[in-house]
Structure 1
Amino acid sequence: MGTELGRPTGARTTATGGPLVAENEHSNSSTPAETLDLIAPPSTSDEKENGNFASDELSPPDAAAAAEDEKQAAKAETTEYPTGFRLVSIILALIMGIFLASLDMTIVATAIPKITDEFHGLDKVSWYSAAFLMTDGGFQSCWGKAYRYFPLKSTFLAAIAVFELGSLICAVSPNSTAFIVGRAVNGLGAAGIGTGAYTIVAFVAEPAKRATYTGFVGMSFGVACVVGPLIGGVFADKVTWRWCFWINLPIGGLSALIIVCFFRTPSAAQPVAAPWREKLLQMDPVGVVLVMGAIVAFMLSLQYGGQTAPWNSSVVIGLLVGFVLITVAFILWEHFQGERAVIVPRLLRQRAICISCLFACIFVGSYYLVIYYIPIYFQSIGNARPTMSGVYNLPLIIATTICMITSGMLISATGLAVPIEVGGAVLAVIAAGLLYTLDIDTGVGKWVGYQLLAGIGWGLAFQIPIIAGQASAQPEDISSVTAMVLFFQCIGGSAFVTAAQAAFVNRLVHTLPITAPDVDPAKVVATGATMIRMVFSDNQVPGIVIAYMAGIKAALAISIGGAGLGLVICLFSKWTRLNFAAVAV
């Protein structure tokens, strides 16, 4: 993770992460401008032997002229970075975009009972989330290619438009089928918004400040994931579940308007020229289809296993075998695709990028699990309404938000990412273990403290895969690297939540015959966390709550493994500074 953005062999940066300019022993002037794309020409073999990029025979006037040219080029490049109100407006627009894309991952959770009441049935409920995650994960890298081969600004606006279209379809959907289609379109747009927002940050923020702004943009994800169920519950209870999607239209429109007015595509972000046929092939449609197929097969196998079908049933085994075969086919396809692959092998072979992708998949994925099951704990065990459940979640959201921003500032100030990453992972492992000890009679002080520690741990390390990945990429690869990290993050989140759901339901179903033998397990699963005290008698509820607690513990145990494996992964990172002076070899 210690490699530097766009650095050619033999180039150096200033100690402040400034432009990549050639050293010249006849001129000790260095430009303080911090730019993404100003890259020194590669040195010749003679220059390498002398240890300098400029010939020793260069006359002083020529050296002075060369230094002046470097200053002028750096000054011109620096002027591309927006400042003041314009920069704040762009960052605010990106925060709104990420907030909406992240909100749609969780807002529907507490609204599902109302949706199923209106659409009369539970047979398609699993697709309400699966459709979104399928396209969100499957199209991440495809959008990364789109940002490389099409104009950055118009592509981001197109992603917002697709997301808004999906929201509109969901808001007016007359049945489950239309709603699922809308969720799939939502996920397609959300994938483009996520990749585009982080890519734009890389081009509008000076290198020394990029980590800070990445932290600001990223904190909206943590906020959205926690408040999503709260907002969904309020809309479902007080107005209508359709407002979970109507709300996206004005906020998304405002984000798009700000981008139109204030964002100007820098020269470094100009699209790569290629024929239309080549652009289409670069999207790797076959790879996208394979990814979505693998995601669906995996999610459905865990949703069905032990719940609607035995684990040894032909349906579950067939889905698991299909998942393995499709995944193998995807890996082979990507290998032979080369630069056209949605997961570019050349980039994945870089140590920093590979570790960033793995860490995002495992460590960040385990955070999804925590933010999903802590509200279930409060609603099922603590008998809290969705609104109060959101209030009880505030320690987690506040700590996560503050530490995401703090992490970015610390990296900007020191250039050190790995110590923060390791420290965050250590705290997350401890917090995950403490959360596992939650029980029916756990006091307020404990669950507040455990959430604070979890927020600090995951918050400190959450954004580092994006920051380190971008710092290791050439300017033309930034969108692809960003998309790859987000792809693995989305896949990891989907896998962890789905696996946790399978563990939760299976443990719940197997515990109920012991703690509540007169209760139908299938009825408990279909009832939901917030309704068990309304549907079942006072004599049955205590046994159901005990079984629920056993299921929640089984789910939270997976987060311990995820955080621990994430800690192991980040230990393989290079302990060097990002964007600081270092000679490439």
Structure 2
Amino acid sequence: MARVSIVTETKCTTTTETTQDVDFVQEDVQARVSKPLWLLIVVTILSSTFLFSLDNTIVADVQSPIIEKFGEVGKLSWLGVAFVLASSATIITWGKLYGIFSAKWIYLASVVLFEVGSAVCGAAPSMNAFIIGRAVAGLGGAGMYLGCLTLLSITTSVRQRPTYMALTGITWGSGTVLGPVVGGAFTQNVHATWRWAFYINLCIGAVFAPVYIFFLPRADPQEGVPLKQKLLQIDYLGVVLNVGAFTALIMAINFGGNLFAWAAGREIALWVVGGVMLLLFGLQQAFKIGTTTQERIFPGDLLRMPIMWLLFALMCAASTCVFIPTYYIPIYCQFVKGDSPLTAAVRLLPFIVLMVFSGLLNGALMSKLGYYMPWYLAGGILTSIGGGLMSTIDETSPISRVYGYSALIGIGAGMFIQTGFSVAQAKVSPSRASDAASLIAFTQNIGIVLALAISGSVFQNQALDSLQKLLPRIPREALRGAISGSNSDLIKTIPAETQAKVIHAIVYAMSHTYYLVITAAVMTAVGSLFLKRERIFVQGMAMG
């Protein structure tokens, strides 16, 4: 395994760390392979992030045929929640595993889990089997995503890293937006069924399998340490408490106001159990019960760095700015323009294309110039303007305004969507790169969950209140199904005059979700003022 010495310039001072001083040894893979092979390795690693993000949203357009096949509409919420729950509750655990075991083999294990989950979903004979498959895929997907970040971190220099982290963010964002498109395409194809929305993962995995097995760097942070000793380093109690706490809390957030009323006993029980488990997890980590400072699962010591708190908040804001337009623009187009789910998803392309361009520009210029603070400031300002304009959209607005305003959000959000990963990893020693990545990835997931939960509550509650006044004879649950898309044909049966009022009420409620985008963007711009005006992405490498 090739080893390198690392020279990192931070705060205008230079420190040198030899391979004896760090645990995580970087591998100069780029020097050992041809450029075409290096490109193939990068594409292979990025493909796993694409599949993870694709599966995060792919069920949006395949829910109806799944319900038609299996029934059990009461379990509809689990189609999306199972995946998000499994990935969010375990992502910190994956980060710790990458700091103990060989990155290559942990990554391969996560790929196998993801592919097994996809196969179970594709071949599912029942709704319960499908939900289990989604959970297994989410578990493996979280490991793949963090593995992508870890593998790219240990095979690139600090100076190169912003570009590669930008590629990761672009891949993640593209998969997220294209999920509904791919799902809708398979659903509407007469020669395929919704099952191929999951079987396709097996095909892509098979194509890249040789690269996974033969060309990925081994990257063992504790080379020579016996497996038994490594297994003893795992914070098993922390894993159980972490998974338990976030499972209950994520269920409470996603099911509240949707599957359960906020005041329902089961909803309150979820909050109580989640809160108690989270408290126990915090105490266990703080007092190192059954673990040590170095081995505890949550990298809490990193939070002693003020910049980590800022990056935490800014990543939550970035998730909000990206996911609310991704979710609500297609809903707007379906209600107002009468689009099919597939056509509505395609209308996101101006948003995603410019976000991709902005992200690439961000990575390239940060690598060259070294500054990161201006990207948060400029991105926050542009996104707040775009969010403010999107909040003015109504049912009479031409689609060109939707394209233009969402493109402005895409440009702004692309400037900082993945910047936090590069900054966090540059601020810690190479041995803590996986811990820093897991902390920011955890924040990204939490931001997504909170953004969609809060925006969903705002949208549904305001829309339902308005619709009940217009349609007092229709049960609230039927109206809830109409605005969520599972019973949208209900609106078509309403007289034209009333239908126009209903559409107006829905769009008006939808416009309020962009207040969250404005808030997150302004928070980003203000938060950027507390970041240092420094150059950190400058690195020299000398072979050891």
Normalised to the residue count of structure 1, the TM-score between the two structures is 0.83
Deviates more, 1:187-196 or 1:377-386: 377-386
- 2:407 aligned to which of 444, 452, 457: 452
Report the counterpart of residue 421 of structure 2 in structure 1: 466
Kept in 1, the 8 Å contact 2:81–2:254? The answer is no
Q: Secondary structure at the match of 1:342?
A: coil
Q: State how far apart, in whole Å, the 2-side matches of 1:561 and 1:94 are.
A: 34
Choose which of 186, 204, 208 in structure 2 pairs with 1:235: 186
In 1, Cα distance between the equivalents of 2:62 and 2:286?
42
Query: Residues 428 and 563 of structure 1 are in contact (CA less than 8 Å); yes or no, is this contact kept in structure 2?
Result: yes
Q: Give the corresponding residue for 1:382.
A: 337
Render the CA deviation track for 1:446-491: whole Å, top value 9, x for unaligned: 1111111010011110111111011112111111211111011111
Say if 2:214 is the partner of 1:261: yes
Aligned partner of 1:559 among 494, 514, 517: 517
Q: Partner amino acid for 1:145?
A: K
- Residue number among 529, 532, 544 corresponding to 2:488 in the alignment: 532
Query: How far apart are residue 444 of structure 1 and its match?
Result: 2.3
Paired residues of 1:163 and 1:186 also in contact (CA < 8 A): yes
2:376 counterpart (405, 409, 421) = 421
Shift of 1:162: 0.9
Do the aligned partners of residues 363 and 278 (structure 1) sit closer, same or farther apart at CA in structure 2, a change above 3 Å counting?
A: farther
Q: Which position in structure 2 is the counterpart of 1:181? A: 132
Give the distance between the partners of 1:514 and 1:574, measured in 2 at CA: 52
Sort the Cα spacing of 1:506 and 1:344 in 2 relative to 1 into closer, same or farther, 3 A: same
* Aligned equivalents of 1:550, 1:263: Cα separation in 2: 50
Aligned mates of 1:576, 1:182 — CA distance in 2: 46
CA contact under 8 A between 2:162 and 2:366: conserved in structure 1?
yes
Tell me the distance in 1 between the aligned counterparts of 2:391 and 2:229.
50
**CA deviation profile, 1:45-97 (whole Å, cap 9, x unmatched):** xxxxxxxxxxxxxxxxxxxxxxxxxxxxxxx9697565511221111112211
Cα gap change, 1:296 to 1:404, in 2 (>3 Å): same
SS of 2:74's equivalent in the other structure is coil
Q: Which residue of 1 aligns with 2:278?
A: 327
Map Cα deviations across residues 126-162 of structure 1 (whole Å, 9 max, x no partner).
1211111111111112111211211121221111111
Q: Is the 8 A contact 1:435 1:450 kept in 2?
A: yes
Q: Confirm or deny: 8 A CA contact 1:149 1:274 kept in the other structure.
A: no
1:18 Cα shift? 12
- How far apart in 2 are the matches of 1:351 and 1:106? 33
Q: Which residue of 1 aligns with 2:351?
A: 396
Question: Which amino acid in the other structure matches residue 555 of structure 1?
Answer: T
Per the TM alignment, residue 119 of structure 1 is displaced from its structure 2 partner at its CA by: 1.1
Distance in 1 between the 2:367 and 2:52 partners?
Answer: 26
Q: What are the equivalent positions in structure 2 for 1:264-279 lying under 5 Å apart? A: 264-265=217-218, 269-271=220-222, 274=225, 276=227, 279=230
- 1:25-40 mapped onto 2 (5 Å cutoff): 38=18
Residue matched to 1:546: 504
Distance verdict in 2 for CA 1:503–1:279, change over 3 Å:
farther
Number of aligned residues = 526
**What one-letter code is carried by the residue in structure 1 that aligns with 2:504?**
I
Query: Which residue in 2 is equivalent to 1:512?
Result: 467
1:218 matched to 2:173? The reply is no
SS at 2:443 equivalent: helix
Q: Distance in 1 between matches of 2:255 and 2:371?
A: 44
Q: 2:9 and 2:320 mapped to 1: Cα distance?
A: 34
Counterpart in 2 of 1:204?
155
For 1:529 and 1:550, locate their aligned partners in 2 and report how far apart those are by CA, in whole Å: 17
| Cα displacement (A) at 1:520 | 3.0
Instruction: Report deviation, 1:357.
Output: 2.7
Question: Paired residue for 1:370?
Answer: 325
Shift of 1:173: 0.9
Partners of 1:84 and 1:229 in 2: how far apart? 34
Q: Which moved more, 1:448-457 or 1:381-390?
A: 381-390
Closer/same/farther in 2, CA of residues 208 and 303 from structure 1, 3 Å limit: closer
Change over 3 Å in CA distance of 1:329–1:277 after alignment to 2? farther
CA–CA separation in structure 1 for the residues paired with 2:377 and 2:443 = 19
Say which of 243, 250, 255 aligns to 1:292. 243
Q: Comparing 422-431 with 557-566, which one deviates more in the overlay?
A: 557-566
Using the aligned pairs only, state the percent identity.
Answer: 28
What do residues 248-289 of structure 1 show as CA deviations (whole Å, max 9, x unaligned)? 0111232332233333335xx543665656534544333333
CA 1:41–1:152 in 2, change beyond 3 Å: closer, same or farther?
A: closer
SS in 1 for 2:416: helix
Find the aligned partners of 2:48 and 2:10 in 1 and give their Cα distance. 33
| CA distances 1:347-403 after superposition (whole Å, capped 9, x unpaired) | 222233333233223332442222112211111222111121122111101011111
Q: Tell me which amino acid in the other structure corresponds to 1:481.
A: A
CA gap of 1:81–1:531, structure 2 versus 1, over 3 A, is: farther
For the structure 1 residues 219 and 507, does the alpha-carbon distance in structure 2 shift closer, same or farther, using more than 3 Å as the test?
same
Amino acid of the structure 2 residue aligned with 1:164: E
From 294, 302, 310, give the equivalent of 1:347: 302
Change (3 A) 1:285 1:504: farther
Cα pair distance change 1:287/1:413, threshold 3 Å:
same
Q: CA deviation at 1:535?
A: 6.0
Q: Higher Cα Rg: structure 1 or 2?
A: 1
Are the structure 2 counterparts of residues 340 and 361 from structure 1 closer, same or farther at C-alpha, using a change threshold of 3 Å? farther
**CA separation of 1:369 and 1:290: change in aligned 2, threshold 3 A:** farther
Whole-angstrom distance in 2 between the partners of 1:196 and 1:303: 27
Q: Measured at CA, do residues 568 and 167 of structure 1 come closer, stay the same or move farther in structure 2, by a change above 3 Å?
A: same
Distance in 2 of aligned mates of 1:508 and 1:285:
45
Farther off after superposition, 385-394 or 543-552 = 543-552
1:435 deviates by 1.6
C-alpha RMSD of the superposition: 3.0
**Closer/same/farther in 2, CA of residues 298 and 148 from structure 1, 3 Å limit:** closer
Q: Distance in 2 between matches of 1:346 and 1:548?
A: 46
Deviation of 1:105 (Å): 0.4
